[in-house]
């Protein structure tokens, strides 16, 4: 009878309402509606196809189709596997609940009200079941496909060969395995909960569960079914408790002694860890009790077990750890937490690559009494860069833009180029395409005629000319200078954000000169061919530009270029990498190559404290400048390596990835997942190696961690007495961190200068200097990546950047305040360049270029140089003059005659008298021009002054040195000094 009851039809019957006839639309209307529906479906299908097809074409064009296919098939596989699993789980439990529905019984009011719903869905049960399962399957599949990185890292993971100090498992378990297990656990919970809800609703609809009806609330079949599902849920909870034990090693929490904290603390190891183990055991027992209802058919024991588990979670998992924290840890926190802080310090230093940081005590002041003996040491200590790449872009723009449709990036870059066998710090920028400067904007001009920039512009970083302008080593259009011949056209760059169609019948504007406009046609095989009508239609849809489909400007050979910024291209071909914010250009083997630093990261390194990349890498340059911001800013990481150096050819767009960190297990994992995409380090040519450098964003992450983790002793770490901070940029009022600076310099333990990346630290909450940090950035050398920190004594105060800047601004003896007042009183503005810090003989030399935007041009020119060392400050026209004033002249430089008189004294030599008179006039004219802010007149006066002084010296030499006179006050009589902002050959480096 029971079997027959289960086969009885659903309840049904009851009166039906009157039938209402609705007029059917005409045949013509039905045909039209059907046609429109088919067209709409085809249109939607083609839009989806266009997105997929254009992506495939682009990856094929850059020879990284394996990245596209591997990613695509992984997503598809995860979508179908987990979508089908979810659909099967929910569908099976709905089917089973329907199959276990009770036989027809006396109708209660509750059942009568449900009867209409049963009757309504009866004809559509199969379709409803398919619809529900398809919906949950689609949602689950879409969610699972987004976990393609987690799957690939799990299935391809390689060991770190490092074990965590708590569970002694390889770090790979936390970085690669645990995230995948957590995903599986989350999927299991979702499938169980959805199945439980669907089964409960089905049982209720068909009478297996009753809420208001008299008698039993659930049939034995419904009780057994739902108990099993609850048992599965509790069993998964037991697994969750077990995984939570390992999760403690990578758990982030707030720790008042250190702020952000990752890993176990005393309360975790001694309260939470045993609590999780106990809760695991209770959950297993509770799950078995739920499964036992298949035989006992009663909820009593499972409910008791579940209540016990909840109570245990509250008492053991919540109250007990709070008691331990309150009564064991807080009364003696440092002693309790010290062993765990030791583990955190070691893991964090390992994970961020700062474990080998060399910290050296540094006096902060020189013991040398006679500063003149240090003058010759300055030039060997550093090649002091006066040209600030973050300020002089408008100057490059004004002097080298040539056409309005060219532009330079807001921040230029610093590189090294060899000149006469010596590396020279160089400020470099590319003359990129600026569509906003096109004389007449239309679709043809924007995408066919103006397609590329042209040429490199470079200038010496350590000097300026007599007018305060950069001394260009590569300039003009076409560019010429010290660089060997190279392909100058720039189709891929930081400012190239739109698509171009090249290589077809429409000629492109190359550049213009005195003979007129030059045209060209793109010759490389980059981009995607538009010869196929399908390709043209797909791009017309993808770019919402129908003219691509029918324009006569597109023909044989036409190719479409897009995804043209270097960072965008590298991120697309290697989506597992985090991209540095600063891509920089270099001329390598006759090509302009964009060099892009890329990182492998994870947030699963046990005990290593986490950081948010966007916050850690922010400084005064990234504020409001998205081009300099690190990609994936919101990523929280606790392990980072500069594992890949990438290049993007500015003409062809070719992307090459080179393995830089050969030991990084995260990169090895991705190289297994995407074989053949990353070239070995040995493939890096020597010419490219000479331009590689230590990346800024990695340096900024490391310096932020070193504010706390330069300390190795747990007690000192917990006390917080040695916490540093990165100072705010003193050259502006943004309130953002000072950016690091590239500089060729020599640290105390180095024998010669090395290209370095430098920064300073101040004590937490104070402005005096606490440390100076530099990392060797010379790629290919044995010391590359070596971090050196000079730690200043806490017993004395050494001026920090903000204090030094304040001293500069308020110095009355050097007339700095008067100079600033005069400049700002006219139609000019003051801009302070990078405040450079150089260790020298136990002290610290600060050098800051001062720029003036004057007149109507509004672009900065180098006008003054500020120098301070050991309490002495100089504010002069040139670096040499400023250094000579602080230290005295170089041994190779003749001592200048005394200054201080305003009129030339009598001289027996009339030629000398005339020359000194001319010098006085030139000096007075220069001072008058300075007050008016007339920089052209000031520069001319400085030239006249130098000529006059030279004539006076020559006349004195011919007369045997008799009848000497004094130069005008404030001038320099040294013939080797350069006027108005140009360092002499001996001072600029």
Strands 787-791 and 358-361: what pairing? parallel
List, for residues 823-871, the tens digit of each pLDDT value.
766 677 888 888 999 999 889 999 999 998 876 667 888 988 999 988 8
The pLDDT score that the predictor gives to residue 983 is 36
Q: What are phi and psi of 262, to 5 degrees?
A: -130, 135
* Percentage of residues of the chain with pLDDT beyond 70: 83
pLDDT-derived band of residue 468, with 50, 70 and 90 as boundaries?
confident
- Alpha-carbon torsion, ordered 135, 136, 138, 141, to 10 deg: 180
Residues 392 and 383: their CA atoms lie apart, in Å, by: 18
d(CA 591, CA 678): 21
Look at the block and give the residue holding tokens 């097809």: 53
Q: What pLDDT is attached to residue 642?
A: 95
Residue 206 has what DSSP assignment? T
Q: Report whether pLDDT(932) > 90.
A: no
Residue with tokens 């050969």: 662
Least trusted range by pLDDT, from 396-410, 608-622, 671-685, 893-907: 893-907
pLDDT band at 244 (very low <50, low <70, confident <90, very high): very high
- Hunting for tokens 């110095």 — which residue is that? 811
Write the DSSP string, 303-360: HHHHHHHHHHHHIIIIIHHHHHIIIIIGGGHHHHHHHHHHHHHHHHHHHTT-TT-EEE
Residue 893 reports pLDDT greater than 80 = no
Cβ pair 915, 947 in contact under 8 A: no
Confidence band, pLDDT 50/70/90 cuts, at residue 2: very low
DSSP of 621-671: TTTT-GGGSPSSTT-EESEEEEEEEEEEETTT--EEEEE--TT-HHHHHHH
Tell how strand 432-433 and strand 406-407 pair up: antiparallel
Specify the pLDDT at position 102. 80
What pLDDT score was predicted for residue 131?
Answer: 87
State how far the Cα of 336 lies from the Cα of 318, in Å rounded to an integer. 20
pLDDT of residue 1: 37
User: Does pLDDT of 60 surpass 70?
Assistant: yes
pTM attached to this predicted model: 0.84
> What confidence category does residue 117 fall into, taking pLDDT thresholds of 50, 70 and 90?
low
What per-residue confidence (pLDDT) applies to 256?
64
Q: What is the rounded distance in angstroms from the CA atom of residue 733 to the CA atom of residue 605?
A: 37
Backbone angles phi, psi at 562, to 5 degrees: -155, 180
Range name among 438-452, 798-812, 907-921 with the lowest pLDDT average: 907-921
Q: What average pLDDT does the chain have?
A: 84
Neighbours of 577 (CB within 10 A): 25
Q: What are phi and psi of 8, to 5 degrees?
A: -70, 150
Residue of 538 and 210 predicted with greater confidence: 538
Measured in degrees and rounded to the nearest 5, phi and psi for residue 79 equal -60, -50
Spatial distance between the Cα atoms of 393 and 480, rounded to a whole number of angstroms: 19
Query: Kind and range of the H or E element at 105?
Result: none
Q: Contact 863/963 with Cβ under 8 angstroms? A: no
Locus of tokens 């007042």:
821
Q: Give the separation between CA 344 and CA 250, rounded to whole angstroms.
A: 11
**Both structure tokens of 77:** 């596989």
Q: What is the mean pLDDT of residues 523-540?
A: 92
Q: Give the number of C-alpha atoms closer than 13 A to the C-alpha of residue 91, restricted to the C-beta side.
A: 19
Q: Are strands 453-454 and 489-490 parallel, antiparallel or unpaired?
A: antiparallel
pLDDT over 50 (residue 989): no
Q: How confident is the model at residue 974 (pLDDT cuts 50, 70, 90)?
A: very low
Q: Lowest-confidence range among 547-551, 704-708, 932-936?
A: 932-936
At residue 632, the pLDDT reads: 66
| Residue 822 pLDDT exceeds 60 | yes
Helix (H) or strand (E) holding 435: none
- Local confidence band at 729 (pLDDT 50, 70, 90 cut-offs): confident
Query: Given this model, what pLDDT does residue 157 score?
Result: 94
- Please check whether residue 881 is in contact with residue 972, taking contact to mean a CB–CB distance below 8 angstroms: yes
Distances (CA, A) of 425 to 78, 383, 389, 458, 683: 51, 8, 11, 10, 26
According to DSSP, the residues that pair with 681 across neighbouring strands are none
Classify 983 as helix, strand or coil.
Answer: coil
Least confidently predicted of 551-565, 636-650, 889-903: 889-903
| DSSP symbols for 587-603 | EETTEEEEEEEEEEEES
* pLDDT tops 50 at residue 253: yes
**Token reading at 899:** 């200054």
Classify residue 937 as exposed, middle or buried by CB count within 10 Å of its CB (0-12, 13-18, 19+): middle
Distance CA 693, CA 347 (A): 26
Average pLDDT over residues 750-764: 92
Confidence band (pLDDT; 50, 70, 90) for 934?
low
**pLDDT (0 to 100) of residue 337:** 87
> For residues 492 and 547, what is the distance between their CA atoms, to the nearest angstrom?
24
Query: What pLDDT shows up at residue 15?
Result: 43
CA–CA dist 657, 459 (Å, integer): 29
Q: Residues of the chain with pLDDT > 90: what percent?
A: 47
pLDDT of residue 13: 41
Per-residue pLDDT band at 774 (split at 50, 70, 90):
very high
């Amino acid at each position: 009878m029971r079997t027959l009851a289960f086969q009885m039809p659903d309840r049904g019957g009851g009166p039906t309402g009157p039938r209402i006839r609705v007029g059917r639309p005409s045949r013509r209307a039905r045909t039209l509606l059907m046609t429109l529906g088919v067209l709409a479906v085809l249109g939607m299908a083609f839009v989806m196809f266009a997105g997929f097809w254009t992506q495939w074409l682009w990856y094929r064009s850059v020879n990284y189709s394996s990245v596209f296919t591997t990613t695509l098939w992984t997503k598809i596989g995860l979508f179908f596997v987990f979508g089908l699993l979810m659909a099967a789980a929910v569908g099976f439990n709905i089917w089973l609940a329907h199959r276990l529905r009770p036989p027809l019984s006396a109708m209660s009011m509750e059942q009568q009200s449900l009867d209409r719903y049963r009757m309504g869905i009866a004809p559509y049960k199969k379709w409803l079941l398919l619809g529900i399962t398809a919906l949950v399957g689609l949602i689950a599949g879409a969610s699972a496909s987004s976990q393609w990185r987690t799957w690939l890292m799990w299935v391809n993971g390689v060991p770190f060969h490092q074990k965590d100090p708590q569970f002694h498992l390889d770090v790979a378990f936390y970085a690669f395995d645990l995230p995948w297990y957590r995903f599986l656990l989350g999927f299991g919970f979702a499938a169980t909960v959805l199945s439980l809800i669907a089964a409960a609703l089905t049982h209720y609809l068909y009478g297996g569960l009753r809420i208001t009806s008299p008698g039993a609330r659930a049939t034995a079949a419904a009780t057994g079914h739902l108990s099993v599902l609850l048992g599965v849920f509790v069993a998964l909870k037991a697994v969750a408790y077990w995984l939570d034990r390992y999760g403690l090693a990578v758990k982030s929490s707030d720790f008042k002694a250190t702020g952000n904290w990752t890993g176990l603390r005393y309360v975790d190891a001694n309260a939470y860890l045993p609590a999780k183990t106990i809760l695991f055991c209770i959950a297993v027992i509770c799950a078995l009790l739920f499964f036992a209802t298949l035989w006992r058919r009663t909820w009593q024991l499972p409910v008791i077990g579940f209540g016990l588990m909840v109570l245990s979670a509250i008492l053991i998992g919540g109250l007990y750890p709070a008691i331990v924290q309150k009564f064991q840890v807080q009364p003696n926190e440092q002693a309790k937490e010290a062993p765990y802080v030791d583990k955190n310090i070691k893991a964090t230093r390992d994970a961020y690559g700062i474990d080998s940081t060399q910290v050296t005590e540094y006096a902060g002041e020189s013991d040398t009494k006679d500063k003149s003996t240090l003058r010759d040491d300055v030039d060997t200590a550093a090649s002091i860069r006066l040209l600030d790449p973050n300020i002089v872009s408008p100057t490059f723009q004004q002097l080298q833009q040539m056409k309005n449709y060219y532009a330079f990036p807001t921040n230029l870059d610093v590189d090294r180029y060899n000149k006469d066998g010596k590396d020279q710090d160089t400020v470099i920028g590319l003359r990129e395409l600026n569509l906003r400067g096109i004389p007449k904007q239309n679709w043809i001009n924007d995408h066919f005629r103006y397609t590329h920039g042209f040429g490199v512009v470079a200038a010496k970083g350590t000097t300026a000319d007599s007018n305060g302008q950069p001394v260009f080593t590569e300039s003009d259009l076409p560019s010429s200078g010290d660089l060997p011949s190279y392909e100058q056209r720039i189709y891929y760059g930081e400012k190239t954000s739109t698509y171009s169609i090249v290589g077809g019948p429409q000629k492109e504007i190359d550049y213009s000169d005195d003979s007129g406009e030059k045209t060209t046609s793109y010759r490389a095989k980059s981009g995607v061919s538009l010869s196929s009508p399908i390709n043209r239609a797909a791009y017309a849809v993808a770019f919402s530009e129908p003219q691509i489909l029918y324009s006569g400007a597109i023909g044989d050979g036409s190719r479409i270029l897009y995804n043209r910024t270097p960072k965008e291209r590298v991120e697309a071909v290697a989506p597992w990498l985090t991209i540095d914010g600063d891509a920089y250009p270099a001329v390598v083997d006759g090509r302009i190559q964009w060099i892009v630093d890329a990182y492998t990261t994870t947030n699963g390194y046990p005990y290593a404290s986490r950081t948010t990349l966007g916050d850690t890498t922010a400084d005064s340059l990234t504020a409001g400048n998205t081009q300099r911001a690190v990609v994936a800013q919101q990523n929280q990481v606790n392990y980072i390596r500069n594992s890949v150096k990438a290049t993007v050819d500015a003409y062809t767009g070719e992307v090459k990835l080179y393995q830089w960190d050969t030991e990084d297990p995260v990169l090895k994992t991705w190289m297994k997942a995407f074989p053949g995409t990353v070239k070995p380090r040995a493939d890096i040519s020597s010419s490219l190696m000479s331009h590689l450098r230590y990346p800024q964003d990695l340096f900024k992450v490391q310096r932020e961690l070193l504010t706390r983790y330069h300390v190795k002793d747990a007690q000192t770490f917990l006390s917080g007495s040695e916490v540093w901070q990165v100072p705010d940029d003193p050259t502006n009022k943004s309130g953002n961190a000072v950016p690091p600076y590239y500089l060729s310099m020599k640290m105390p333990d180095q024998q010669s200068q090395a290209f370095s990346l430098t920064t300073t630290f101040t004590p937490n909450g104070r402005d005096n200097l606490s440390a100076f940090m530099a990392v060797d950035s010379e790629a290919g050398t044995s010391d590359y990546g070596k971090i050196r920190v000079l730690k200043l004594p806490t017993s004395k105060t050494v001026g920090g950047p903000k204090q030094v800047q304040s001293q500069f601004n308020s110095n009355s003896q050097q007339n700095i305040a008067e100079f600033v007042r005069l400049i700002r009183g006219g139609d000019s503005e003051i801009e302070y360049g990078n405040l450079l810090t150089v260790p020298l003989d136990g002290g610290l030399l600060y050098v800051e270029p001062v720029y003036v935007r004057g007149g109507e041009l509004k672009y900065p020119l180098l006008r003054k140089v500020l120098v301070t060392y050991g309490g002495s400050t100089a504010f002069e026209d040139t670096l040499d003059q400023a250094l000579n004033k602080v230290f005295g002249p170089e041994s190779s430089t003749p001592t200048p005659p005394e200054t201080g008189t305003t009129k030339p004294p009598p001289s027996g030599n009339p030629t000398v008298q005339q020359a000194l008179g001319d010098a006085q006039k030139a000096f007075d004219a220069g001072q008058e021009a300075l007050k008016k802010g007339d920089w052209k007149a000031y520069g001319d006066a400085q030239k006249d002054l130098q000529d006059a002084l030279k004539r006076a010296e020559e006349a004195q030499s011919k007369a045997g040195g008799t009848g000497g006179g004094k130069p005008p006050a404030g001038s320099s009589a040294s013939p080797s000094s350069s006027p108005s902002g140009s360092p002499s050959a001996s001072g600029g480096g």
